[in-house]
Amino acid sequence: MAPGKITEDRELDNGGARSQNSVQVISRVADILRALEGEPDGLSLTQIAARVGLARSTVHRLTVGLADEGFVIPASPKGRMRLGPLLARLGAAGWRDVREEIKPFLRNLAAEVQETVDVAILEGSQVRFIDQIPGVHRLRAVSSVGAAFPLHCSANGKALLAALPRDQAERLLPRRLEALTPNTITSRAQLWKELAEVAETGVAFDHDEHTIGISAVATVISDALSVLAAVTVVAPTQRFEAHEQHFAHSLLNTRREIEKFLGARQ
């Protein structure tokens, strides 16, 4: 066998090993980021290492690199780390294209129900509004784009919670469920019971739970990889109660149309 041939094979082998090592690093970094998801108070390096099954020294080395790039930030003086704001900005940037693609569906939904349609995403332990199609009535429900609501007392928040594994959803909830109105669910047992119903029916409701006089119904939009966002029909309670089932039916139809569209484009 010619010496040149031997050298070429070795170079290919070394390149393949480097490529495999790079993929492994990316996989480990992704595991660390996923471990920190839903942990607003952060985790220690030891806790991260236990969750991802890596040595603490390896976790330390990778988190130093993530911190240098702004993907994680210190959560306490004692070394706990949490996800950094850069990830939220990248997520929002990635969502922009999808948001524009599905906006015609949202406009059609708003025209059909003649009420405000909101789009929101999970951001840490809150749900944040990123888009809105205002309703046509003079008296209508409007939330500012960029505003954030608690998860346990908003339709979109409950829809997103119900789409998560229970342990992850539990980590996102505060120790005490604050009552914003007399209708807010403050019992964990009652909330889990409702979330089980949401997972079964595909829709979550807010009946004056966040704001007196405002009610809503929400569902989650998913693609082949993950849950993307929650879409909500929101209205003054008096009008909402008269058309609740119509709103839920139209919302689920829109969800099916969007997910079919997203699946077809992949």
Return the CATH number at 79. 1.10.10.10
Domain that holds residue 45: 3-83
State the Cα–Cα distance between residues 158 and 197, nearest whole angstrom.
11
Q: How many domains does the chain have?
A: 2
The pLDDT confidence band at residue 1, using thresholds 50, 70 and 90, is: very low
State the Cα–Cα distance between residues 64 and 16, nearest whole angstrom.
26
Least confident range from 12-21, 44-53, 60-69: namely 12-21
What is the predicted pLDDT for the residue at 265?
Answer: 57
- Phi–psi pair at 234, nearest 5 degrees: -130, 140
Q: What is the mean pLDDT of residues 155-161?
A: 96
Considering the domain architecture, whether residues 62 and 184 belong to the same structural domain is answered as no
Q: What's 218's domain CATH number?
A: 3.30.450.40
State the Cα–Cα distance between residues 200 and 195, nearest whole angstrom.
9
Considering the domain architecture, whether residues 30 and 122 belong to the same structural domain is answered as no
Considering the domain architecture, whether residues 132 and 220 belong to the same structural domain is answered as yes
List, edge to edge, every strand of the sheet that includes 227-236.
148-150, 126-133, 116-123, 227-236, 214-222, 204-207
Other Cβ atoms less than 10 A from the Cβ of 217: the count is: 30
The pLDDT confidence band at residue 191, using thresholds 50, 70 and 90, is: very high
The pLDDT confidence band at residue 37, using thresholds 50, 70 and 90, is: confident
What is the predicted pLDDT for the residue at 12?
Answer: 39
- Per residue in 74-116, pLDDT (tens digit) is 887 778 888 887 766 665 555 556 778 889 999 999 999 999 9
Least confident range from 2-6, 63-67, 228-232: namely 2-6
Considering the domain architecture, whether residues 70 and 97 belong to the same structural domain is answered as no
Q: How far is CA 143 from CA 112, 181, 195, 252, in A?
A: 20, 17, 23, 22
Residues 6+ apart with CB under 8 A from 57: none
Q: Report if pTM > 0.85.
A: no
State the Cα–Cα distance between residues 96 and 1, nearest whole angstrom.
56
What is the predicted pLDDT for the residue at 256?
Answer: 95
Considering the domain architecture, whether residues 74 and 113 belong to the same structural domain is answered as no
What is the predicted pLDDT for the residue at 144?
Answer: 77
Q: What is the mean pLDDT of residues 183-204?
A: 97
Whether the predicted pLDDT of 221 surpasses 80: yes
Considering the domain architecture, whether residues 118 and 67 belong to the same structural domain is answered as no
Residues 6+ apart with CB under 8 A from 247: 113, 115, 217, 233, 235, 240
Considering the domain architecture, whether residues 155 and 72 belong to the same structural domain is answered as no
Considering the domain architecture, whether residues 54 and 145 belong to the same structural domain is answered as no
State the Cα–Cα distance between residues 109 and 247, nearest whole angstrom.
9
Considering the domain architecture, whether residues 198 and 97 belong to the same structural domain is answered as yes
State the Cα–Cα distance between residues 73 and 67, nearest whole angstrom.
6
Domain boundary among 83, 102, 135: 83
State the Cα–Cα distance between residues 47 and 32, nearest whole angstrom.
10
Domain boundary among 50, 83, 116: 83
Considering the domain architecture, whether residues 130 and 192 belong to the same structural domain is answered as yes
Considering the domain architecture, whether residues 60 and 113 belong to the same structural domain is answered as no
Report whether 203 contacts 218 (CB < 8 A): yes
Domain boundary among 57, 83, 109: 83
Considering the domain architecture, whether residues 76 and 118 belong to the same structural domain is answered as no
